[in-house]
A = this chain, B = another copy of it.
């Protein structure tokens, strides 16, 4: 999953278009994109939107983002807004193992125990406990920079230095826990260069894809999280030279000005693999 495209549950007119954008996954949002006065009416809208998408052949995976566990809406969100067939539930602002257990119990009560769980790590407490939270039954996670900085009381900037610590820590915890991690939103939806730069940072830090809040960001996310043709060609050439050397009993070679041994060979294999090669 390189892209997870958000859509407010309250905008049914968007549903038909969502499937066309090529996102790896789509999420109907009951949380931040829905105002307080519409929380209840948004549930059947999310459900109907999800069912419409699920009925389409070769549509994207569909997720539902419920409101956070401590809110008054969480329980009914899970019980009423999630149709069979969705891939998973997105739970924002996860802060404790107890909350994860509440999610699991609510899914079981709704006969949705098979759903994947994506935890939003986007508060100070969530980041501090990321090592414990990012492990089964949680299977996916995202880092939410806007909410994190708001909760921390910091200032968001375009250079992202204020989130480097938390963004690095969450990606690392996800890797150790076997959790698929998605990188932060870029709210400037018209700025392609910023999105690509931000996504390149995310990829560099170990994220596998990006939250998208505008359809135009989907293509950019796929571009950023798929190795370029040049990268793949270089990786293949490096591996060929490395394997020739190994066959001759050598384990470290000079290639293109670099000392190449197992770690760089592993990086090259990973590039070829992510490009869909063998």
Contacts and interface: CB of A to CB of B under 8 A. Distances in A.
Nearest to A266: B150
Contact of A264 (B146, B175, B214, B260): B146
Interface residues of A, number: 74
A64 interface: no
Given A37-B246, A263-B32, A257 B190 contact: yes
Interface in A227-278: 245-247, 249-252, 254, 257-264, 266-267, 270
Interface in A115-173: 122, 124-125, 127-128, 131, 144, 146-147, 149-157, 161-162, 164-166, 168-169, 171-173
A203 interface: yes
Most buried by B among A164, A176, A185, A270: A176
Interface stretch (A53-61, A77-85, A97-105, A205-213): A205-213
Interface of A: 8, 10, 31-38, 122, 124-125, 127-128, 131, 144, 146-147, 149-157, 161-162, 164-166, 168-169, 171-173, 175-176, 185, 187-191, 200-201, 203-206, 208, 213-214, 245-247, 249-252, 254, 257-264, 266-267, 270
